[in-house]
Amino acid sequence: MSKMWTDLLLQGAMILVTIFMFLAMHDIPKKIFTKIRYRNRADFQAKRHFVLGAQLLAQARSSKSRSSTASLAQKAESEADKAISLDPKDAASYILKALALDLQGFKTSAVDSLDVALSPLASKSLTDKERGDALFKRAELMMTMNRRGSRVDSAIDDLTKAVELSGDNAKVFCLLGDCYEMKNMKAEARAAFEEALKVEPTSAVARAAIDRLGS
């Protein structure tokens, strides 16, 4: 019996030695380690570019000089692009790029960037509130580009989803109310503005809209 166990142990040891020799010959452990190390380094670099871009965007928004705002926003966009190249699945970098593009006046490109951020692959990295905020921003941009009411329905879809994900933003309800009012859906518009007042009782925009719409 003891001889049988000895033989089994020897066979097992030989199999393990063979496996380790195969791995060593093909440099597999080093390749795995290098891949993990590269991924961690890339993630770190992507976050560094994102943080720098966010700081530049904040400076651009607070700048009182139009030329300085444009320059800082352009730099923020560049940092966002660098972050995206390193981590293309992180929606936050696409949102940062969209905000920088919007500040430069490139609204169509900003919407395109938000489209990527809200795509199934990238949006997994967002919380419900972040996804709701991105939907609101996309709807807001679409309404600023709205010609002949062609984008109202798309904006309503985004805003409805934003409310479902996070219903604590009065601006979302106000914009939704504006969209409904543009479509002459007065009951729905009034309901949206009333929801805005529930979230923010001091909202002058919502109060004025309700007074305008009447009972």
Structural domains present in the chain: 1-126 (1.25.40), 129-214 (1.25.40.10)
For residue range 176-189, list pLDDT tens digits in order: 999 999 999 999 99
What is the per-residue pLDDT for 166? 85
What is the per-residue pLDDT for 14? 64
Beta carbons of 176 and 208 less than 8 angstroms apart: no
Residues 109-124 as b or e (16 or more Cβ within 10 Å = b) = bbbebbebbbeeebbe
Angle at 39 between CA 34 and CA 40, to 5 degrees: 100
Mean pLDDT of all residues belonging to the chain? 85
Averaged pLDDT, 154-179: 94
Question: Is residue 172 predicted with pLDDT exceeding 90?
Answer: yes
Amino acid residing at 50: F
Tell me how far apart the alpha carbons of residues 90 and 130 are, in angstroms, rounded to a whole number.
Answer: 12
Question: Is residue 80 predicted with pLDDT exceeding 70?
Answer: yes
Closest alpha carbon to 147 in 186, 98, 188, 108: 108
In which band, very low, low, confident or very high, does the pLDDT at 4 lie, cut at 50, 70 and 90?
Answer: low
The number of C-alpha atoms within 13 Å of 184 and in the hemisphere containing its C-beta is 0
For residue range 7-48, list pLDDT tens digits in order: 555 665 565 555 545 445 445 444 544 544 555 777 888 889
Q: What are phi and psi of 132, to 5 degrees?
A: -65, -40
Closest alpha carbon to 122 in 166, 159, 164, 88: 88
For the question of whether the overall pTM of this predicted structure is more than 0.95, the answer is no
C-alpha pair distances (Å), 198 with each of 95, 170, 174 = 28, 8, 12
Tell me how far apart the alpha carbons of residues 206 and 125 are, in angstroms, rounded to a whole number.
Answer: 33
152 is written with which tokens? 């109202």
Q: Is 73 or 31 the better-scoring residue by pLDDT?
A: 73
